[in-house]
């Protein structure tokens, strides 16, 4: 059992150790705040905002810088975009020192910790166009009934199918699986001595989709309770375990792959379940592999997938909160989100941009459809170590006792949430 350490936090200096953000790098300091640290609306004269981002590369950095500069020129304010070396560490230091950046990326997996500690300004309900964001994304940044920040974009999981393997097995578009039973059946048909029918990535961020499809999940964010031991979750993990036992599916390490996309790109897998980030990996590293994408098959409770998202956080300590909200509104317009999609491959978090996005990127239609029914990550405060322990146990899913995994998570989560 994990040690119980539930307490009301006044700072997040240790968050970097437990953060679920998969961001490389080290170092980084706090942020200078020459104007003082009292939260306030914009005062007289132009504001000077600092924006901290965890960039995926030059394209994302340039897109954010260009959008921020366009807003600055139109509004008469000043803005500096800083690319973090380690955003979790740098934000923790800024919060602890009372001098955080004004605006910053917040991953849904650590949102609850920041919100509970009082580090976030809850501006979302008052921003222009708040009702245009996917409700499921907004839920990922809601704690105790309070929505805090605007989702900047999102990703979902879908099913990738190798065209050559599909045709070699004599399968057609009519055979694309739409249920759990069909998924197992086609995975077995696609399995050969040299290629697994279905390769799954490790951890909750892949198998969790099956829990959602069966009407369950690890926690209930609305009630703030752990729900891991619900029968629907046991049934979902037993279904995945059955796929592994029968050989219809294997885990990525079993085919010497670091993740599902690598197994799929090297054609060790005829199918995999990954997010829309796989498109970049396939075009860059495996351009000769022809494939199609489909929505994940429905489970007994219906459609379900996982959402991965970040929001634009505004610091509770920022002296220019109203101006910061204006900047976030500019960074999240449908037009800007579509420009970001073109620049670095993200999906818009505004529902009004969906049709234009699908027209521009028709191959991503199965991914963006998940915005309507997807489930965000575990976002309750204090559960970082508990979730990490869950991932460790799920690595042994093929031979593990499913009930013991879920009971362990339940016990550890309840100890933190009490």
**Spatial CB neighbours of 67, under 8 Å, sequence gap ≥ 6:** 330, 331, 336, 339, 340
Beta bridge partners of 105: 312
pLDDT of residue 17: 34
Nearest to 83 by CA among 27, 134, 137, 9: 27
Assigned fold of 15-155+308-372: D-Maltodextrin-Binding Protein; domain 2 (3.40.190)
**Spatial CB neighbours of 27, under 8 Å, sequence gap ≥ 6:** 85, 86, 89
Q: Which of 27-41, 49-63, 164-178, 371-385 is predicted with the least confidence, judged by mean pLDDT?
A: 27-41
* Cα–Cα dist 373/399, whole Å: 31
pLDDT of residue 2: 52
26 has a pLDDT exceeding 50? no
* Cα–Cα dist 238/383, whole Å: 24
pLDDT digits (tens, 9 = 90+) for 60-91: 999 999 999 999 999 999 999 999 999 999 99
11 has a pLDDT exceeding 60? no
Query: Once rounded to an integer, what is the mean pLDDT over residues 113-134?
Result: 97
Query: Once rounded to an integer, what is the mean pLDDT over residues 253-264?
Result: 98
156-306+381-417 has the same fold as 15-155+308-372: yes
* Cα–Cα dist 303/75, whole Å: 44
pLDDT digits (tens, 9 = 90+) for 211-241: 999 999 999 999 999 999 999 999 999 999 9
Nearest to 154 by CA among 351, 310, 378, 331: 310
349 has a pLDDT exceeding 70? yes
User: How would residue 14 be classed by pLDDT, with cut points 50, 70 and 90?
Assistant: very low
More confidently predicted of 276 and 19: 276
Q: Which CATH architecture has domain 156-306+381-417?
A: 3-Layer(aba) Sandwich (3.40)
Q: In the chain, where are the structural domains located?
A: 15-155+308-372, 156-306+381-417
User: How would residue 18 be classed by pLDDT, with cut points 50, 70 and 90?
Assistant: very low
């Amino acid at each position: 059992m994990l040690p119980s350490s539930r307490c009301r936090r006044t700072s997040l200096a240790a968050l970097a150790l437990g953060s679920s953000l998969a961001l490389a790098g080290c170092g980084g300091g706090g942020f200078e705040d020459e104007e003082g640290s009292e939260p306030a609306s914009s005062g007289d004269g132009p504001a000077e905002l600092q924006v901290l981002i965890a960039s995926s590369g030059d394209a994302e950095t340039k897109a954010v810088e260009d959008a921020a500069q366009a807003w600055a020129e139109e509004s008469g304010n000043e803005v500096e975009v800083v690319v973090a070396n380690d955003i979790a560490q740098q934000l923790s230091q800024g919060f602890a020192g009372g001098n955080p950046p004004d605006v910053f990326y917040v991953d849904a997996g650590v949102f609850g910790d920041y919100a509970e500690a009082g580090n976030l300004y809850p501006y979302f309900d008052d921003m222009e166009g708040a009702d245009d964001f996917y409700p499921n994304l907004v839920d990922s940044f809601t704690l105790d009934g309070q929505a805090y920040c605007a989702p900047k974009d999102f990703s979902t999981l879908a099913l990738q199918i190798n065209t050559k393997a599909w045709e070699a097995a004599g399968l057609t578009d009519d055979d694309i699986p739409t249920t759990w039973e069909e998924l197992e059946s086609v995975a077995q048909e696609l399995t050969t001595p040299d290629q697994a029918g279905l390769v799954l990535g490790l951890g909750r961020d892949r198998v969790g989709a099956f829990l959602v499809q069966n009407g369950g999940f690890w926690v209930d964010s609305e009630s703030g309770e752990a729900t891991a031991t619900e029968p629907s979750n046991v049934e979902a993990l037993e279904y995945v375990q059955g796929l592994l036992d029968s050989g219809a599916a294997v885990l990525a390490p079993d085919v010497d792959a670091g993740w599902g996309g690598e197994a799929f790109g090297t054609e060790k897998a005829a199918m995999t379940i990954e997010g829309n980030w796989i498109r970049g990996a396939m075009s860059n590293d495996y351009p000769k592999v022809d494939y199609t994408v489909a929505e994940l098959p429905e489970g007994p409770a219906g459609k379900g997938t996982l959402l991965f998202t970040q929001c634009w956080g505004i610091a509770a300590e920022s002296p220019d909160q109203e101006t910061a909200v204006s900047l976030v509104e500019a960074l999240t317009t449908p037009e800007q989100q579509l420009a970001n999609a073109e620049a670095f491959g993200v999906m818009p978090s505004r529902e009004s941009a969906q049709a234009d996005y699908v027209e521009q990127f028709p191959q991503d239609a199965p991914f963006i459809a998940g915005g309507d029914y997807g489930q965000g990550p575990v976002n309750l405060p204090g559960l970082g170590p508990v979730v990490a322990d869950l991932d460790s146990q799920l690595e042994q899913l093929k031979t593990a006792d499913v009930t013991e995994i879920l009971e362990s998570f339940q016990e550890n989560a309840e100890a933190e949430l009490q």
